[in-house]
Structure 1
């Protein structure tokens, strides 16, 4: 039996998501708005460029720019490509045909300068690049080009992150694409997905098999107090099949305190830890054998103080409509942590739910008042394993497996 929740996850979305409670069917990965970064986690659009301070002043400066002067039909995501020897880039200025300056930054590897916004269609742009040699002498070079018209076919994008929000330590950066990005096109898209963390922490992008989602995370949960700055710069970017990214997406958010929930089917108990210390334990009832809870590392994706689980659409005459309090979604397929006054007698003793984590009304309220979107909940010892992509699941893969999903080479130090 499955229940359909009359609510949607708070996010920037492409299309609404059907919510199915406490069951395995009918769920889908939600849509949202997105952003891109390099596979190692640095923000290419926030890079400082190549620093060749030690290069000899006797090396002649050689600089080639792209797009070439006079180039037309240039994608709206175009970067100023820099093939440089004998110096370092000290200034890049990009202007539109009215003379307005377009902001932007060098990639960390110095191979290109990335505009800070999607360029306008059918617009002529001029770029001026200044290179300083080791002896202090400067060389200036220019190029001009014209962008293409407004793209006809687009790839929808979404980003599950919002400005000025505070998230749990397991909050991954989640980007969605509709339709999904094929393998051959993922590297180019990933190069336009930028993430920076303060304090600095390593991270890698990893794609789901169908290319509909990309997750960004580090080897460990984020440090409490971390600031995440994300830009998915895919507006006007060729994404394959004659499609172009619909728009740029960006967000800057905070990571809060460490708060973890660990559920053990053997003991039928949840252990709650904050900042590494156990602060509470409580009895639970998990899914019965016919509708088992899944085992794995999940993340709180949505919170509803009051909602309705409706299974009549999926279970027909066997379905039901039930008011639910303090519901916290942990999978797309319909598993939740929620108040279950009807199963209090079974909690801590036996499993009677339709896959959800049942707790008492008092414990459900206590948790609801303390959790954040992005807090981790780990369930172990049940009959069924969490499916990858059934929710925000990047933490359910060992790091060595997770990094294999990157479309770009991963530095040896991060493998």
Structure 2
């Protein structure tokens, strides 16, 4: 059964023609130029409906106009304070810049102007619901404020518990991304609903500023849960860096701005604990880390490592492994991680960024969906199929070819609390 939004209250369409004109219709005669030139004001519909109660704090002011355009929206609370809001791109609603407060009364005054200059103004007053007692779905925004990320950085929001399929469209409508300079993009859900990714068809352009808002606080999700809180961040995209690891040669190729700058010998996962093949994204960087695999399959050890870069939630890292330097370039001996020399690991830490793409090929197993930020591990055509909302027409076609990891630029479980690897 399709989920209905609680905030989608009965809309009231206001008649375009003032009531005083209703009796004039019968007296109009052909040739009456004053009547012919009289312009009807636009028809305007506003939601929530006037005097609505128990409106979610995630409410938006819906606006629909016929015969004109919205020219002014003013939202105030019951103390007269103006509420900042921004219009949706399609003009269907104005979204408050922060969640509304529970058990408060708000007034929205909306004006629409027709092509002739005639205006219609409507006012609606509504009261928000008390603070919800329903369990909250925990959200995590993997896009921090005031950082610099690699050109493959997907905006990732994770949910615990996962979002059921019938509620994903409502959640996705409350996820906002702005880029400067503008670059189109789309959201795509991991099949189990635990993560949703936003990316462009190609890599982000270096220097792009990305602003994100996951505005789900108080949002009804399914029948018995609500969103936990609003999360915002604005960061920039840095230089173009990509890594490519080939199991056949046991070599890592490092690209910067599309040019090969270094090759590094590696030792990957041995046959019993193989490294995954696929497109990964650097998720974390640690100068020092402790891998504790006690209780894990094929684990049972604790080891301190330096210069570790996380690639998957399952514990695949690139890290310094001085104990395997004799095997690097010829034999796989790790527990799934990518072993490099201490000097190479230190050098990589100075070159890479969180958000850089790392591509592995030729290993015994394929990367599992959602094991890390796997937004790039599918074609663009497959990626947009994961959207819970229609994708704009201009974004539907696939790029002519998948971007090469070294090309210049033009989601599963919540993160484990302890660092794992091998």
1:351 matched residue in structure 2: 332
State the superposition RMSD in angstroms: 1.5
Asked if residue 302 in structure 1 is aligned to residue 281 in structure 2, the reply is: no
Which residue of 1 is the match for residue 252 of structure 2? 270
Residue in structure 1 matched with residue 198 of structure 2 by the alignment: 216
The structure with higher relative contact order (CA 8 Å, sep 6+) is 1
Aligned to 1:313, the other structure's residue is in SS state coil
> 3-state DSSP class of the match of 1:400?
helix
**Which of residues 52, 59, 79 in structure 2 aligns to 1:98?**
79
Say whether residues 1:142 and 2:123 are aligned partners. Answer: yes
What does the per-residue CA deviation read over 1:80-122, in whole Å, with 9 as the maximum and x for residues that have no partner?
1112111111110100000011000111111111111100000
Structure 1: how far apart are the matches of 2:330 and 2:46?
69
Which whole-Å CA distance do the structure 2 matches of 1:116 and 1:305 have between them?
38
1:199 maps onto 2:155 in alignment: no
User: What residue number does 1:112 align with?
Assistant: 93
User: CA, structure 1 residues 241+178, in 2 after alignment: closer, same or farther (shift >3 Å)?
Assistant: farther
What's the CA shift string for 1:242-299, capped at 9, x where partnerless? 2111111111010100000100111110110001111111111111111111001101
Q: Which whole-Å CA distance do the structure 2 matches of 1:389 and 1:269 have between them? A: 26
The answer (yes or no) to whether the contact 2:43–2:120 under 8 Å persists in 1 is no
**Alignment-derived partner of residue 49 in structure 2:** 68
Partners of 2:296 and 2:338 lie apart in 1 by 21
Q: CA deviation at 1:241?
A: 2.5
- Residue 232 of structure 2 corresponds to which residue in structure 1? 250
- 1:139-191 CA distances to partner (integer Å, 9 max, x unpaired)? 21101000000011222111011111101111100001122111111111111
Shift of 1:315: 6.0
Counterpart for residue 239 of structure 1: 221
Check whether the contact 1:312–1:320 (CA below 8 A) recurs between aligned residues: yes
Q: 1:182 to 1:57 in 2, by over 3 A?
A: farther
Partner SS for 2:308: strand
Q: 1:175 and 1:315, CA in 2 relative to 1: closer, same or farther beyond 3 A?
A: closer
* Paired position in structure 1 for 2:344: 363
Instruction: Give, in whole Å, the separation in 1 of the partners of 2:151 and 2:216.
Output: 26
Deviation at 1:60, TM superposition (A): 4.0
Relative to structure 1, is the Cα distance of residues 117 and 359 closer, same or farther in structure 2, using a 3 angstrom cutoff? same
1:36 alignment counterpart: none
Shift of the alpha carbon at 1:57? 9.5
SS of alignment partner, residue 410 of structure 1: coil
Matched, 1:399 2:346: no
For structure 1, the 5+ residue unaligned runs are 1-55
Are 1:382 and 2:363 an aligned pair?
yes
Whether contact under 8 Å (1:57, 1:86) holds in the other structure is no
Residue 88 (1) aligns with residue 69 (2): yes
Match of 1:414 in 2: 395
When normalised by structure 2's length, the TM-score is 0.83
State whether structure 2 residue 99 is matched by structure 1 residue 125.
no
Instruction: Please say which structure displays the higher CA radius of gyration.
Output: 2
Whole-Å Cα distance in 1 between the matches of residues 39 and 160 of structure 2? 51
Task: Check the 8 A contact 1:285/1:348 in 2, yes or no.
Answer: yes
Give 1:311 deviation, angstroms: 2.5
Task: Report how many aligned residue pairs link the two structures.
Answer: 359
Give the 3-state SS of the residue equivalent to 2:79 in structure 1: coil
Alignment deviations for residues 182-234 of structure 1 (CA, whole Å, 9 cap, x no partner): 11111111111110111111111011111111100111111111111111111
For the 8 Å contact 1:298–1:330, the answer to whether it is kept is yes
Corresponding residue of 1:229: 211
Asked whether the 8 Å contact 2:41–2:119 carries over to 1, the reply is no
Shift in CA distance, 256/141, structure 1 to aligned 2, threshold 3 Å = same
Distance 1:315 1:233 in 2: 38
